[in-house]
Chains A and B, each alone.
Chain A
Amino acid sequence: MESVSLEYVAAGLAGTLIFVVSRCAAVTAHELSHYAVARSLGYRASIHLWPSPHVFVKAVEDSPCDAELVRHAGWLFSAALAICTWQARAAVAARLGLDPSLVVPLIAAVGLTALDAFTSDCLRRVPPARRACCFYCGNFGVLLLEVAGASKVVPLLRKMIQITSMRGAQSAGIVTYTRQGTAKPLGKRAGPLPPLVGGVRSRVVNGKRTDLTTLLMNKFERTVSSRRAIGAEADLSAPQLFQGHTRFATSSISDLPGCHPHQWLTPSMEVVWRYDAASRRFEGTRDRSEAFITHNGAPLLPPLSLSHTHTHTHTHTHTHSLTLARARARPPVSTRPSHPAHPSVAVVAR
């Protein structure tokens, strides 16, 4: 009786061992397939097996076609490996001198790896991290106060994305507001017309082999440049807000529609009435109306509270306040610089 029990225990241990070893080997082989394809396409790549196995391919996001090739290589290889293992199960058992029942854990490990690869690489399904307690979203922003500081904006944004990505790097987005002509007044109006400000939003979902910072900034710079090319005015004229967010999905999957900055209503032209202190009258203009929001954590902090250094990052903001601020030809908040190295910009990051 005891010998039978021991046999069961030994078989169980052997099966577990075979499963674990096979699983590790299958995952490593899967990552090697990504690596091999990336290297064959001329990219620099590195394999990371712990804590989450993945291959990082440098600058692959510059070529979407290559990125797709590298991505699909993994699950195709794992699927082929699973099929081959299934077909050759009898030969494998004979070759390794194993009991045929001990091949089952091997097939299970390889099959699980193929399924895992298919859902993550092909379907891009990653389970939401409901119980994650150490990852949250990150907010960051730059308020450009002088045109002289424009050249520092992109490097600062890159650095802030890198830092806030530590809180969760599943997806990210940036919005800025660019001047798009001038608002149309209703009736006669004395003095300069207020600028028409429109939001330019860029959002990306990070991949397993892509760098979030590169991905987002490439898209953002392309978007801003394209707006400039079609004749939109004043992309970097001060003051200009750059408001960003890196996301760690806590209640849903990480996808593009779920990525910040969020906007419910699409932009529309509205008649906006403002009190003009000079004429002591209400004056109406046809303005572009839209609102973006990025947030995390406790939501009731003042928006754009940059005047008291870089402690608050809940940048609930909208073009209305920015339009008003621009119309008055002054920054929407205090001009006190909050970054000693870059006096022409105010920086917030968390």
Chain B
Amino acid sequence: MPGDLDFFELHGITYPLDDVRSLLTAALHHGASSNVDSLCVAGLLDVHRTKGVWSASVRYGWIYGGLAQSGNLCGRGEAAPLAPAALARLTSIFEAEWAALLAAQPDTVASAPSARLKKQDAAEAELSVSRRLRESMQAKVTAAIGRALEQLALPLAETANHDAAVARFVAQATRAFFEQVRAGRTRSRRHRALLTVAPALGRTCWRPRASYSLAPRARSVWSCRIRSILAMQARS
């Protein structure tokens, strides 16, 4: 049926709905309460809802960074996603570095133009601060994470270039913390076209953080919707 979640693409591999459900169960450490496809959409939402939360960001970073070269995750059994203890350990490393980083930041409350700060200025300031903190986090946390991964004996070590895999994991986790993450390689061509068009339309502040693939009928529906949005814009 159009709109049903039939499969999800991750790192170039298409997982059928049953595999998506088992992967979500393992990744979120919580079982599915129903076998309907829509519940998996809720699970995917939980995986991609990361901004400002370290535990969710680390989970996302592991899936999209650490396991990027790991092949079919279902073939790896339950070991592929992070176990609760490992997730807590890695999260605590990120949180400790984050706390140290914030403590080292100068207190800028007095010098800030506070309420008169324009919206655009505020956005630029957030971007600037976020970029600086993100770079600092990546530089400081990578070595500690590498050591922790070795101690935890996680399957990341199986990859050919362990350091690159660790760096990818840390980069994805920090990006997920500071930004609304997106799964770029899973996006369809039409989806990418919309992301290009949407800001120009000036009618959305939302960017989908991950796409789930559409059945052929749904694709045509989606195509029609893009055309209708463009037509609405042309009329206005």
Residues of A within 8 A of B (CB): 136, 190, 249-252, 255, 257-258, 260, 262-266, 270-275, 277-282, 289, 291-293, 295-305, 307-308, 311, 316, 318, 320
Interface string of B192-216 (1 = CB under 8 A from A): 0010001000011010100110100
Contact B206 A302, beta carbon cutoff 8 Å = yes
Which DSSP category, helix, strand, loop or mixed, fits chain B's interface?
helix
Which residue in A249, A264, A305, A308 is a CB contact (below 8 Å) of B39?
A: A264
Instruction: Kindly list 5 other residue pairs between chains A and B, CB separation below 8 angstroms, not including A264-B33, A298-B218, A318-B49.
Output: A257-B34, A258-B36, A258-B38, A274-B52, A275-B130
Which DSSP category, helix, strand, loop or mixed, fits chain A's interface?
loop
Q: Which of B220-236 contact A (CB under 8 A)?
A: 221-222, 225, 232
Stretch at the interface among B72-80, B109-117, B164-172: B109-117
Distance in angstroms between the alpha carbons of A153 and B52 in the assembled complex:
33
Please give the distance in Å from A33's CB to the nearest CB on chain B: 33
Contact A264 B109, beta carbon cutoff 8 Å = no
Distance in angstroms between the alpha carbons of A274 and B129 in the assembled complex:
12
Contact B191 A300, beta carbon cutoff 8 Å = yes
Interface size on B (CB < 8 Å)?
A: 62
B151 within 8 A of A: no
A316 and B45 in contact, given A264-B24, A270-B53 (Cβ under 8 angstroms): yes
Q: Which residues of the other chain, A, contact B34 by a CB distance below 8 angstroms? A: 252, 255, 257-258, 262
Contact A279 B122, beta carbon cutoff 8 Å = no
B1 within 8 A of A: yes
B174 within 8 A of A: no
- Interchain Cβ contacts under 8 Å between A and B, 21 examples: A252-B34, A258-B36, A263-B42, A264-B33, A271-B54, A273-B177, A277-B125, A278-B112, A279-B108, A279-B112, A281-B129, A293-B38, A295-B38, A295-B41, A297-B2, A297-B221, A302-B206, A305-B203, A305-B204, A316-B41, A318-B45
Contact B42 A291, beta carbon cutoff 8 Å = yes
Contact A264 B30, beta carbon cutoff 8 Å = yes
A251 and B54 in contact, given A190-B109, A265-B28, A296-B3 (Cβ under 8 angstroms): no
Contact A251 B36, beta carbon cutoff 8 Å = yes
Contact A278 B114, beta carbon cutoff 8 Å = yes
Contact B2 A251, beta carbon cutoff 8 Å = no
Contact B2 A298, beta carbon cutoff 8 Å = yes
Which residue in B36, B117, B214 is a CB contact (below 8 Å) of A299?
A: B214
Q: Kindly list the 4 A-B residue pairs having the minimum CB-CB distance in the complex, ordered from nearest.
A: A257-B34, A277-B122, A264-B43, A262-B42
Q: Return the chain B residue nearest A273 by Cβ.
A: B52
Contact B38 A305, beta carbon cutoff 8 Å = no
Distance in angstroms between the alpha carbons of A207 and B214 in the assembled complex:
32
Please give the distance in Å from A259's CB to the nearest CB on chain B: 8
